[in-house]
Amino acid sequence: MKPYRLYIFDLDGVIYRGGEPISGASSALERIRSGGAAVRFLTNNSAQTRAAFADKLRGLGFAAEPEEVFSSAYGAARHVAPGSAFVVGEPGLKAELEGAGARVVEEGGADWVAVGICRGLTYDLIDEAQWRIRRGARFLATNIDSTYPDEGGRLRPGAGSVVAAVAEAAGRRPEITIGKPEPALALMILEDSGISLNETLLVGDRPDTDIECARRVGCDSALVLTGVTSRADAARAVPKPTYVLDSVAGLAAE
């Protein structure tokens, strides 16, 4: 594997699963940083703020600063601000929107309906979101991942499941999707870092989101087998990653 100046890591299934760090991941990232390369974290998870993700990473033994985390909530906030949004999502999405200067609306008109993972999803939330969309609000999805990996090998419903419920009720697909495989977040990282595509490696566990995002952006990719993809699945993956690794620990072994 050739060296890179910028390593972009997905989180769930790559750096950790739920509250469990992936074995060898911390030492691999420490080695990468000590070699002078930049590290960024790219997650479709819209439930938390950048600061909360950085706190979680530090608690699991990883060096991390909020400015190094690019989440779909942060991307949504940069897209919506300074407009207004009715939110179907977690407090982290609302906090990122407000932090960027957007106005979060519960009553009255809103420019956008922003939908992400929502563990408190109710019929009334779906109803209000779809009615606002039908009346002209623009529809934004933080991401469309149907599931995400958790501790013990369990998969849980992701934001895509929530987005699908709203879309079905509204009779309309999202106007914009922020998270992978869409390239918006990766392009933000590249712009902010100033590092070129041919010096960048995107590391993830999903061919259809992470590896497809790298393809759309035009950078190299590494598919790890600690998330939702088995080795048999990796052999059939479309698009093909540049590398297939058992885990991010393999980056330190190369």
Q: Which of 12, 111, 205, 210 is catalytic?
A: 12
Q: Is 192 a catalytic residue?
A: no
Q: How many whole angstroms separate alpha carbon 149 and alpha carbon 18?
A: 7
Q: HSE on the CB side for 216, CA within 13 Å?
A: 16
Q: Which of 10, 111, 145, 210 is catalytic?
A: 10
User: Is there a catalytic annotation at residue 220?
Assistant: no
E strands, the chain, are 6-9, 16-17, 20-21, 38-43, 69-71, 84-88, 103-104, 112-115, 138-141, 147-149, 155-157, 176-177, 200-204, 220-224, 243-245
Cα atoms in the 13 Å half-sphere on the side-chain side of 76: 44
**Catalytic residue annotation:** 10, 12
